[in-house]
Amino acid sequence: MPDTDEIIYLDAILTPNSSLSRRGFVWFMALVGMVSAATSVVFIQIGFLPVIAFVGLMAGALLLAFYRSYRHQKEETQVRVTARNLSLRHRNAKGETRLVNVPSSFARVELDEPLRPDSWLRIEHGRTAYVIGRFLTPPERKSLADALRTALAEARQERYAS
């Protein structure tokens, strides 16, 4: 990342949206467990024992889906713009970090128009492109693209004002 004496025009940390807190998850899974247990008791009384396995599979699949969702919420991208460079630091769900520095005078911000859920926000330099904010909604991508373009324009002004 840049030196501390440089002016920072944009410093943003992008993280996925969270639809349910940990406490909410515990309450939701407790409710699923109670409903599964009550359903199982009813089917045991009726004599349909194989249904209990499917109820357990459903609860397990729901738990696995939430586990994977929470794992992906650990993803994080830091974007920092200075007069010298645009820095991208991405940490994936496994904790692996990748750092990329692009000269701010040659960086381009591209967003596929019209905005759709599959419109990617890219930082381009030459023939290389870095997709950022895949987990953002289209309006959030548009807002970030506008902020990045403004920050890069201000950074270029400082660089060429000297």
Give the global pTM. Answer: 0.72
Instruction: Looking at the structure, tell me whether residues 107 and 143 fall in a common domain.
Output: yes
Q: Which of 33, 49, 72 corresponds to the end of one domain? A: 72
Total domains present in the chain: 2
Range in 2-6, 29-33, 74-78, 104-108 with the lowest mean pLDDT: 2-6
In this prediction, residue 159 carries a pLDDT of 67
CATH number where 136 lies: 2.30.29.30
> What average pLDDT does this structure show over 74-93?
92
The whole-angstrom separation of Cα 111 and Cα 120 is 6
CA distances from 114 to 26, 59, 87, 111, 119 (A): 39, 40, 27, 9, 8
| 3 is a domain residue | no
Average pLDDT of the residues in 33-49: 89
Which residue segment(s) compose the domain that 26 sits in? 22-72
Contacts of 118 (CB under 8 A, 6+ apart): 112
pLDDT averaged over every residue in the chain: 88
Q: What is the mean pLDDT of residues 116-134?
A: 91
Which residues is 113 bridged to in the sheet? none
Same domain, residue pair 80 and 100: yes
Are the CB atoms for 88 and 11 separated by under 8 Å? no
Please check whether residues 36 and 113 belong to one and the same domain: no
φ/ψ of 110, rounded to 5, equals -125, 135
38 and 12, same structural domain? no
Looking at residue 4, its pLDDT comes to 61
Domain membership of residue 1 (yes or no) is no
CA 30 to chain centre: 27
pLDDT of residue 2: 45
> What whole-number percentage of the chain has pLDDT above 70?
95
| Structural contact between residues 112 and 124, judged by C-beta atoms closer than 8 angstroms | no
User: pLDDT band at 161, cuts 50/70/90?
Assistant: low
- Predicted confidence band at 115 (pLDDT cuts at 50, 70, 90)? confident
Residue 43 lies in a domain: yes
Same-domain pairing of 96 and 60 = no
